[in-house]
């Protein structure tokens, strides 16, 4: 399991990094909201521990961006702002849980375990644009026909499904699915979109993946 910690206080970030690693989790750390929002879109991230007061983009804005792209991703807000109004604002903004500083690591850990159990159940299936994707079995079903997908194709389809109706740029797909932090000048995205189209096409119904020339790709149900 991969946990993203978005925290600008170096001492707290290091404490969480070491503590979560000791519990067997993979950990990534972001020191500001912009980086945190970007890393949270990686499908390998299973849960986010998010500080509310961050330099640049604050925690609520990070949360809003995450909810647009990954509505089911568990996000635990970890903040010194513990008034009832603050809690209500955070939870209404889409936080899965809300923990105030100072905090007991054992309690935070228990909340992480609980949210990961809930997230595992809710994230097994994705549905968008007439496609149903089993993330565990990597089986895509469209118009009653099921197709087993290799890992990368399933990851690509899952990202497009989580962003249904939105344009996903080539750079975003390279980062989210293949982990490239820069454009290596490969046509791998085009190749894999072609694989998916051939597997999702049905008689009289093309695959619902649109190409926007020089921009990217969009998953949208055929009109």
Burial degree of 71 (CB within 10 A; 0-12, 13-18, 19+): exposed
Task: Give the end of a domain, one of 99, 122, 145.
Answer: 122
H or E segment to which residue 91 belongs? helix 84-92
- Under the banding of pLDDT at 50, 70 and 90, the label for residue 19 is very high
Q: Give mean pLDDT, residues 72-88.
A: 81
10 and 106 co-located in one domain? yes
129 and 26 co-located in one domain? no
185 and 215 co-located in one domain? yes
113 and 152 co-located in one domain? no
Task: Give the end of a domain, one of 79, 102, 122.
Answer: 122
58 and 149 co-located in one domain? no
Indicate the average pLDDT of the chain: 87
209 and 131 co-located in one domain? yes
Q: Give mean pLDDT, residues 10-18.
A: 93
The count of structural domains within the chain is 2
For residue 78, give its domain range. Answer: 2-122
For residue 77, give the DSSP letter: E
162 and 142 co-located in one domain? yes
- Under the banding of pLDDT at 50, 70 and 90, the label for residue 172 is confident
pTM: 0.56
135 and 154 co-located in one domain? yes
For 210, other C-beta atoms within 10 Å of its C-beta total 14
SS3 107: helix
CA 223 to the chain's CA centroid: 27
For residue 93, give the DSSP letter: T
């Amino acid at each position: 399991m991969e946990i993203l910690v978005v925290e600008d206080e170096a001492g707290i970030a290091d404490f969480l990094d070491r503590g979560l690693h000791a519990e067997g989790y993979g950990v990534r750390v972001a020191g500001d909201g912009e980086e945190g929002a970007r890393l949270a879109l990686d499908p390998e991230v299973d849960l986010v521990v998010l500080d509310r007061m961050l330099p640049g983009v604050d925690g609520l804005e990070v949360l809003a961006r995450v909810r647009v792209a990954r509505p089911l991703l568990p996000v635990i807000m970890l903040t010194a702002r513990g008034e009832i109004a603050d809690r209500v604002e955070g939870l209404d903004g889409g936080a899965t849980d809300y923990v105030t500083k100072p905090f007991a690591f054992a309690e935070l850990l228990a909340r992480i375990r609980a949210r990961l159990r809930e997230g595992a159940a809710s994230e097994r299936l994705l549905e968008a644009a007439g496609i149903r994707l089993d993330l565990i079995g990597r089986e895509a079903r469209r118009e009653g026909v099921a197709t087993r997908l290799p890992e990368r194709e399933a990851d690509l389809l899952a990202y497009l499904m989580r962003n249904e109706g939105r344009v996903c740029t080539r750079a975003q797909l390279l980062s989210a699915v293949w982990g490239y932090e820069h454009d290596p000048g490969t046509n791998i995205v085009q190749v894999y979109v072609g694989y998916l189209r051939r597997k999702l096409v049905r008689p009289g119904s093309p695959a619902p993946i649109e190409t926007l020339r020089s921009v990217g790709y969009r998953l949208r149900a055929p009109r």
